[in-house]
Amino acid sequence: MHSYETKYDVIVVGAGHAGCEAALAAARMGCLTLLLNMSLDGMAVMSCNPSIGGLAKGHLVREIDALGGEMAKNIDATGIQFRVLNTRKGPAVRAGRAQADKQLYRLRMKRVLEQQDNLHVKQGEVTALYLEGDQLRGVDTRSGIRFLGKTVVLTTGTFMRGLIHIGLINYSGGRAGDLPSLGLSDQLRSLGFEVGRLKTGTPARLDGRTIDFGRLEAQYSDDPPVPFSFSTERITMPQVPCYIAYTNPRTHEIIRSGLDRSPLYAGVIEGIGPRYCPSIEDKVVRFPEKERHQTFIEPEGLDTVEYYPSGMSTSLPIDIQIAFYRSMAGLEQVEIMRPAYGIEYDYVNPVQLHATLETKLIANLFHAGQINGTSGYEEAAGQGILAGINAALKVQGRQPIMLGRHESYIGVMVDDLVTLGTKEPYRMFTSRAEYRLLLREDNADIRLREIGHAVGLVDEATYAGFCQKRVQIKEELERVQSTRLTLSAAEKSWCERHGCADLQKGASYEQLLRRPEIGYQQLREIDPQVTELPGAVREQVEIQVKYQGYIERQLEQIERMRKQEEARIPSDLDYKAIPGLTSEVREKLERFRPDTLGQAARIQGVTPAAIAIIAVILKGRGDQQGES
């Protein structure tokens, strides 16, 4: 093994959506960083759907941006259709979703990585971690080069022992057209990691020249398209439509006829697939009463004829695939360019992680993305940036960051993973966030910019702009609280026009804004000052005023939980020496080794009584430390 002369601060293994964010974060924070990928043509590849965002996922993208990550900027620069979902619902559950030009997305991210200071991008398949005793020293590659590094971030995606299934045919591969990564997961298992198997799948790619789009319903971009990044002024890419098609009873009949050759139903696949992303055969089997299933036919890019039929993933054999796609109206003549396939891969049980994403078994080793049992580009990127930040902080001898459930979806995701683990590929939903009303796309910067700036990822100019916005929001909130209706003739007629003739003289603008029928749109008619404010400031003030009661209720809940969340449990706490814990609880705590009392409380089977005992133990320790 040849030891490479450069000694890195951070080595990131894998350049998918997690790895790219991890590498950029570490390098931007001033660490000498190496990003290794099996193929340098395969960086930031969107292996499945050609879109970024959606409910809860769009929230993650915004959070990554607020922390100083790249994903939002990348999709803003390469997105070819932008839509805001749930516009008729409240602000907390609105989310952006964009179609990407896959090649442009990949290439732009590659360019950003290549031009990043402190970052070396190299091709290489990591076959093992290089350890001296239990000290992590770097990684070994298949081509015989050993890279030394203080910290390592593993983002292996679906590559570790990847096994591709098309019908009953299967072969090793990390992704269709790519080799698998072999050796690494065996080593992880031997080091004590619980390595499991998950399954996911992707639909076929269809030739757009053989689709009769005239028979499909088109769905267009919002106008104007709303960007993801707080830094993007506007979207400049040309915008193209998606199309909606449907299956029919004949499609379902064809699918059923191929079930005996489905690896899933024949029991060939051992990994557990995601319930929220069922294959089309799953949908047909589980919902036999449904006469049709909807699919969005999404463009894969501006310069390609490939289309992605969402919701139509399958691991059925190729003859069945051809027949069922062609049974759909508008797709009668369709040519499949890439067959659909299922893939099984190794992951590591995320309960073996700290909330910093550092592993509990090996110091300085971080895991992010699908290796932790998650699914989705955004989930991966969210973990990637957190792992990158914490690897860099570790190198710099600074305190790691942990994101709370009350401040980010990233925090909810990581907490769920480390306290509950996951049995299926984990995807983010807004229903997972108990403080959903606070975790909005619109306020991701208010929630996380400060942290991004503190760790050194958000540059000064961006931060100054943010601070100004924050001041403007505060001042505007004060202004609407103190400005009152005089009920002049003009105001009186305005009130009557907007159905609030019942308002008394002296009512504040805040009271006006609280009414469902009144927004700044209406207020500006009697309040000329409004127009001078940036839209983002008005949006924040309006939301904060309208949802004040609910927001305050959630803030109170957070406050009540704060002590428990903040109580750190030392990693050397000896649960065996604590009297009064039941053996079941003790076993759970030893296995999970929670970082905080809050985490401990969320582990299933750990009782409130046990939490009380640990609280007292911690208090006792704290007192002793205070005295010494």
Partner 1 sequence: MYIRDTIAAIATPLGSGGVGIIRVSGPEATQIAEKVFTGSGTKNGGGFESHRLFYGHLINPLDGTLIDEGMAVLMRAPRSYTREDVLELHCHGGYYLVQAVLQACISAGARLAEAGEFTRRAFLNGRIDLAQAESIMDLIASRTERSLGLAQSQLEGHLSRSLAALKAPLVEALALVEAHIDFPEDEVDPAVFAVVETRVASVSSDVGRLLATYATGKVLRDGVSVLLLGLPNAGKSSLLNALSGTDRAIVSELPGTTRDLIEETVSFKGLPVKIIDAAGIRAHHADCVEQEGVRRALDKVSEADLVLLLVDGTVPLAEELIELTVSLGSNPYLVVVTKSDLPRCADISRLSAPLGVSEISAKNRFGIDQLVTLIYDHFVQSDVLSAGEGAVISNVRHRDILARVQQSLQSFDNNLQLDLPPELLALDIRAALDALGEITGETTTDDLLDLIFSSFCVGK
Nearer to partner 1, 310 or 364 (CB): 310
The encoded tokens of residue 133 equal 């005793």
Q: Which residue, 53 or 271, is less far from partner 1 as judged by CB?
A: 53
Provide the H-helix boundaries in 206-260. Answer: 249-257
In angstroms, give the least distance from the CB of 514 to partner 1.
13
The nearest distance, CB 289 to partner 1, in angstroms, is: 10
Please name the amino acid found at residue 396.
Q
Is the omega angle on the peptide bond into residue 224 within 30 degrees of 0, that is, cis? yes
Report how far apart the first and last C-alpha atoms of the chain are (Å, whole number).
49
β-bridge mates for residue 95, sequence order:
85
Q: Which two tokens stand for residue 93?
A: 């559950």
For the bound state, the minimum distance from the C-beta of residue 576 to partner 1, rounded and expressed in Å, comes to 13
Q: In terms of CB distance, is 267 or 579 closer to partner 1? A: 579
And the tokens for 87?
A: 């516009």
Q: Are 609 and 623 in contact (CB under 8 A)?
A: no
> What does the angle CA 36 – CA 416 – CA 561 come to, to the nearest 5 degrees?
130
As measured in angstroms, the least distance from the Cβ of 111 to partner 1 is: 30
Minimum distance from residue 613 beta carbon to partner 1 (Å): 6
Angle at alpha carbon of residue 54, lines to 46 and 314, rounded to 5°: 55
Of 169 and 555, which has the nearer Cβ to partner 1?
555
CB 534 within 8 A of CB 544: no
Per DSSP, 277 falls in state S
The distance of closest approach from Cβ of residue 605 to partner 1 in the complex, given in angstroms and rounded to an integer, is 12
- C-alpha distances out from residue 225 to 103, 228, 242, 296, 364, Å: 20, 10, 15, 19, 41
CB of 49 to partner 1, least distance (A): 7
Q: What is the DSSP letter of 438?
A: T
Residue 141 CB neighbours (<10 A): 21
What is the SS3 assignment for 368? coil
Give backbone dihedrals phi and psi of 321, rounded to 5 degrees, phi first: -55, -50
**Closest alpha carbon to 581 in 623, 573, 563:** 573
Tokens at residue 142, please? 């298949």
By beta-carbon proximity to partner 1, the closer residue of 137 and 406 is 406
Of the pair 57, 360, the CB lying nearest partner 1 is at: 57
Residues engaged in binding partner 1 (CB under 8 A): 49, 55-56, 85-86, 89-90, 92-93, 274-278, 283, 286-287, 290, 293-296, 310-313, 420, 429-432, 436-437, 516, 550, 560, 563-564, 567, 578-581, 597, 608-609, 612-613, 615-617, 619-620
Q: How many residues does the chain have?
A: 628
- Work out the number of other CB atoms within 10 angstroms of the CB of residue 459: 13
**The residue to which tokens 């020293």 are assigned:** 137
How far is CA 347 from its chain centroid? 17
Q: Cβ 290 to partner 1, closest distance in Å?
A: 6
- Taking the least distance from each CB to partner 1, the nearer of 355 and 581 is 581
Residue closer to partner 1 by CB (options 310, 370) is 310
Q: Rank residues 49 and 359 by Cβ distance to partner 1 and give the closer one.
A: 49
Rounded to a whole number of angstroms, the minimum distance from the CB of residue 93 to partner 1 is: 5
State the nearest-atom distance from the C-beta of 300 to partner 1, in Å.
15
Give whichever of 436 and 593 is closer to partner 1, judged by the CB atom.
436
